[in-house]
């Protein structure tokens, strides 16, 4: 972007800040920190949901959604596996792309079947989680992760 000469004279530092804010470029450090923040934020929030289901397993198993005819108990167990254990692996960045798949399935089922595809209403949170997990599946964990440290 080319500005008139007087702009450079009066606002040299503000001009650099504006260029950086309006730029589509991203450093690898910024990308890695962003992936870390997404993993930690969405992982911890999802673990809270999984922990609640784990603690209330006995009372939830009789009336949980029977997904694909697996039975409500097995569906609940798979949901807890995704929401608690896969979220734990997601936080530390171990097998990130692999563990994001069960989380994507759980959030898609929640948004489509439980909340009847009301994406801007009841299924709004499920849709946000779904978008974050899809981004992690596509982009990967970043270098600040166990996967990144072992070179996967």
Q: What pLDDT, on the 0 to 100 scale, is given for residue 19?
A: 74
Q: What pLDDT, on the 0 to 100 scale, is given for residue 20?
A: 73
Token readout for 8 is 């450079």
Sign of the C-alpha dihedral computed for residues 133, 135, 137 and 140 taken in this order? negative
Domain count, the chain: 1
The verdict on residue 46 lying in a domain is: yes
Q: What pLDDT, on the 0 to 100 scale, is given for residue 6?
A: 56
CA angle at 83 for the pair 79 and 32, rounded to the nearest 5°:
145
Q: What pLDDT, on the 0 to 100 scale, is given for residue 13?
A: 62
Q: CA-based diameter of the chain, in Å?
A: 73
Sign of the C-alpha dihedral computed for residues 120, 122, 124 and 127 taken in this order? negative
The verdict on residue 6 lying in a domain is: no
pLDDT along the chain (152 residues), means of 10: 57 65 82 95 96 94 87 93 97 96 96 90 94 96 92 70
The verdict on residue 40 lying in a domain is: yes
The verdict on residue 113 lying in a domain is: yes
The verdict on residue 17 lying in a domain is: no
Q: What pLDDT, on the 0 to 100 scale, is given for residue 22?
A: 78
The verdict on residue 15 lying in a domain is: no
The verdict on residue 10 lying in a domain is: no
The verdict on residue 9 lying in a domain is: no
Q: What pLDDT, on the 0 to 100 scale, is given for residue 23?
A: 77
Name the residue range of residue 87's domain.
Answer: 32-150
User: Which of 126, 123, 108 is CA-nearest to residue 42?
Assistant: 126
DSSP string computed for the chain: ----HHHHHH-HHHHHHHHHHH-----HHHHHHHHHHHHHHHHHHHHHHHHHHHHTHHHHTTTS--GGGS-HHHHHHHHHIIIIIIHHHHHHTSSHHHHHHHHHHHHHHIIIIISTT-TTTTTHHHHHHHHHHHHHHHH---SSSHHHHHT-
Q: What pLDDT, on the 0 to 100 scale, is given for residue 125?
A: 95
User: Which of 140, 152, 147, 149 is CA-nearest to residue 34?
Assistant: 140
User: Hey, how many other C-beta atoms are within 10 angstroms of the C-beta on 119?
Assistant: 14
């Amino acid at each position: 972007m080319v500005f008139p000469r007087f702009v450079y004279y009066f606002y040299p530092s503000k001009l650099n800040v504006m260029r950086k804010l309006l730029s589509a470029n991203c450093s690898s450090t910024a990308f890695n920190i962003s992936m870390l923040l997404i993993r930690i934020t969405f992982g911890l929030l999802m673990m809270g949901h999984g922990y609640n289901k784990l603690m209330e397993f006995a009372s939830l198993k009789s009336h949980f959604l029977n997904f694909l005819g697996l039975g409500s108990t097995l569906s609940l167990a798979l949901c807890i596996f995704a929401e608690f254990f896969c979220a734990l692996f997601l936080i530390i960045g171990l097998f990130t792309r692999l563990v994001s798949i069960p989380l994507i399935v759980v959030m898609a089922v929640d948004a489509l079947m439980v909340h009847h595809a009301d994406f801007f209403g009841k299924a709004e949170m499920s849709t946000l989680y779904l978008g974050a997990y899809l981004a992690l599946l596509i982009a990967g964990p970043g270098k600040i992760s166990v996967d990144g440290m072992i070179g996967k």
